[in-house]
Amino acid sequence: MHQLKYWLYKADNFYSTQDSNSKWIPVTLEESEQQNETLHINVGSASIVVKPGFNPTLLAEVVKALKSVC
């Protein structure tokens, strides 16, 4: 019983010290009949279409900039 209380205490401390500044955003997936390889990303009121061969660094910078504005 003592060890169970110990692990419950450790788990409680672990979850209470996690970064509370993290924010989750909703993701909506839409089914389509066509099989295409594009990804549509909405950040605020902006919409980004990502196609195969995209530059991941550029995409990350654009999303970061949009998050600060939107």
What is the residue-wise DSSP string for 29-54?
Answer: ----SS----EEEEETTEEEEE-TT-
pTM of the model: 0.44
What angle (nearest 5°) sits at the alpha carbon of residue 66, between those of residues 61 and 69?
135
CA 48 to chain centre: 16
pLDDT value at residue 8: 76
pLDDT value at residue 3: 81
Name the one residue in this structure whose structure tokens are 């009949």: 33
Residue type, position 5, single letter: K
pLDDT tens profile 4-59: 777 777 777 665 555 556 677 788 877 766 667 888 888 888 889 998 888 999 98
Residues 16 and 60: their CA atoms lie apart, in Å, by 29
